[in-house]
Amino acid sequence: MQKECIDFIQKTIEKYDYDGCVIGISGGVDSAVVAALCCEAIGKEKVLGLLLPERDSAKNTLNDSVDLCNHLGIPYKVKKISKILRKTGAYALKPPASIVPRKIQEKYVKDKWRDLPKEDTFIEDLEDRGNEEFLKGLAFYRIKHRIRMCLFYLEAEQRNYAVMGTTNKTEMLTGFYVKWGDDSTDIEPIMHLYKTQVYELARELKIPDFIISKPPSPDLIPGITDEFALKVKYKDLDRILMKLQKNRDLDDEKPEDVQRVKQILKAAEKRKIRNLNVLGDD
Amino acid sequence: MQKECIDFIQKTIEKYDYDGCVIGISGGVDSAVVAALCCEAIGKEKVLGLLLPERDSAKNTLNDSVDLCNHLGIPYKVKKISKILRKTGAYALKPPASIVPRKIQEKYVKDKWRDLPKEDTFIEDLEDRGNEEFLKGLAFYRIKHRIRMCLFYLEAEQRNYAVMGTTNKTEMLTGFYVKWGDDSTDIEPIMHLYKTQVYELARELKIPDFIISKPPSPDLIPGITDEFALKVKYKDLDRILMKLQKNRDLDDEKPEDVQRVKQILKAAEKRKIRNLNVLGDD
């Protein structure tokens, strides 16, 4: 698993004559794995970590990310993007959260998320559908990853570096990413791996435990973790996705989980084709 | 030509249940045509023009864009993006231009562009290759369209609107766009039309002369127009592109033009596949 990824990164960097690569380090397992793979592929001095926290990032995001960069021995840059986001007007869409203690913020957001109409927020998100307040929430959180993408390229292009993607197969299949945000990259070295496989790889690569053990979260809205939004555990999600992919029997799976996964896959169709409709391309 | 585009916009907006659309109005012919088509397709009150000028935009960009919106009768929003760009650090890559008169800026930039190594700047741009100063220039101008994309979605997502693309076939084939910038949209209604066909359509749609008659320019770097960068006239470029597409005889074309077009197409390969390399997708 490891060797295939490393070879792919090496080959692609060489093919396009990049002088190195840029990776957005989020403190999560996917970016940690991609960074470690890149170190193996092209040497750590050519791997630039970019740490772009903002107003609503979890408290440990920045520390964990710095610690990871130090663990890997890669150069990194920290840039708080709150001021940029403020200038775009995005923060005005949601009340300033910084004066409220984090725990209360998280509880408030979770309660709101649960209370939203139809009570199936992630499906509505995938379908860009909901009431006015919900749509504002979509615009509010998605611009964060898009602005990050802009900054990854600003740094990468100055150095003739590639922008590395960190999206895995589970996220890609379920639409768990921001269109023209974290999906907009030069090279995607783990998009063939399910989330649970990324964890296996993380262990192989000796990614530190403070990264591996924390609950995966997009870190865009306080309190919303991946599994909270997906409403199914990655372990179960991946197993069902694999069975669906291989046309295997689903009789021993919980019917409500299978139902949920199918519902997500259907709703994700819109985002999966990236919703780019080109006249003449049918 | 007109009917096909209008039907396509109508059908796609309906299919995805959008409540309207957002278009970045640049003062150029492509966005004017797309805006006019959208008015026909879904009604002008559902078409929102976004005007996002910045420090280096041409003086008439904003006025022309406002005049066009008024001509079409569509609602519009103006937001200067200079402050956002300043916060990203992009402006620091190139000296502040505002104290220098525009004409001198333009001459300075053109001379620099011409003096760059290998004197074939657009090819180097397509290949992301050049000296340090040149690479800074790429990072500097590209982030402008990417930030615009972020803001188009910020407005669109709040309203359940689609983001309309304005890229034409000539631009798509020659790589004359910013990856993850003006190519990142929901619907592309003129990507099947060469630039010269977009002009025909503009006349059909009665786009005002102040839009049609000005030299096309990406309006990202003072003084750099499309034809200056491409080094071939659109009239000739499109005719050669069409002949190449149809495998027609090129004997009556100027050999240096044919050579130039082929060189551009080759260099554009990297950008055309959007350079997204996904392991397992071969």
Each residue of B141-182: pLDDT tens digit?
999 999 999 999 999 999 999 999 999 999 999 999 999 999
- Local confidence band at A242 (pLDDT 50, 70, 90 cut-offs): very high
Q: pLDDT at residue A267 above 60?
A: yes
CA distance B27 to chain A (A): 22
- Which residue of chain B is at minimal alpha-carbon distance from A145? B150
Contacts with B35 (C-beta within 8 Å, 6 or more apart), sequence order: B23, B25, B47, B49, B68, B69, B72, B74, B164
- SS3 track for B6-73: HHHHHHHHHHCCCCEEEEECCCCHHHHHHHHHHHHHHCHHHEEEEECCCCCCCHHHHHHHHHHHHHHC
- The residue-averaged pLDDT of B218-229 equals 89
Adjacent-strand bridge partners of B164: B187
**pLDDT score at B222:** 85
A205 phi/psi in degrees, rounded to 5: -85, 5
Among the partner residues A138, A150, A279, nearest to B146 by beta-carbon distance: A150
User: Confidence band (pLDDT; 50, 70, 90) for B109?
Assistant: confident
Evaluate whether A134 touches A124 at the Cβ level (below 8 Å): yes
Contact B139 A128 (CB under 8 A): no
Q: Cβ of A4 under 8 Å from any chain B Cβ? A: yes
Rounded to a whole number of angstroms, the distance from the CA of A8 to the nearest CA of chain B is 7
Residue B97: pLDDT over 70: no
Q: Does A1 touch chain B (CB under 8 A)?
A: no
The model's confidence at residue B278, banded by pLDDT at 50, 70 and 90, is confident
Chain A CB contacts of B5 below 8 Å: 279
Residue B105 has pLDDT above 80, yes or no: no
Q: For A143-170, what is the mean pLDDT?
A: 97
Residue to test with chain A: of B279, B281, B282, most A Cβ within 10 A: B279
Q: How confident is the model at residue A88, as a pLDDT?
A: 97
| CB < 8 Å to A52, chain B | none
Contact residues on chain A for B160, CB-CB shorter than 8 A? 128-129, 135
Q: What is the pLDDT of residue B98?
A: 52
Return residues 129-168 of B near A (CB < 8 Å): 129, 132, 135-136, 138-139, 142-143, 146-147, 149-151, 153-160, 165
Q: What percent of chain A is predicted at pLDDT more than 90? A: 77
Distance CA B212, CA B204 (A): 12
Instruction: Kindly tell me if the per-residue pLDDT of A20 is higher than 70.
Output: yes
pLDDT tens-digit map of B32-70? 999 999 999 999 999 999 999 999 999 899 999 999 999
Q: For the residues A91-101, what does the mean pLDDT come to?
A: 71
Q: Is the pLDDT of residue B133 over 70?
A: yes
pLDDT band at residue A102, thresholds of 50, 70 and 90? Answer: confident
For residues A212 and A216, what is the distance between their CA atoms, to the nearest angstrom?
A: 9
pLDDT of residue A244: 96
Contact of A92 with chain B, judged by CB distance below 8 Å, is answered with no
* Lowest mean pLDDT, pick from A250-254, B21-25, B194-198, B273-277: B273-277
CB A106 within 8 Å of CB A78:
no
Superfamily of domain B2-274: HUPs (3.40.50.620)
The pLDDT of residue B96 is 58
A2 CB near a chain B CB, below 8 Å?
Answer: no
> Residue A95 pLDDT > 80, yes or no?
no
* Chain A residues within an 8 Å CB radius of B189: 279
Contact A154 B187 (CB under 8 A): no
Statement: residue B269 has pLDDT above 90 = no
User: Can you give the C-alpha Rg of chain B in angstroms?
Assistant: 19
The mean per-residue pLDDT over the stretch A197-226 comes to: 94
**Residue A270 in contact with partner chain B when CB distance is under 8 A:** yes
Confidence at residue B209, expressed as pLDDT on a 0 to 100 scale? 97
- Say if residue B120's pLDDT is above 60: yes
Q: What percent of chain A has pLDDT over 70?
A: 94
The model's pTM is 0.93
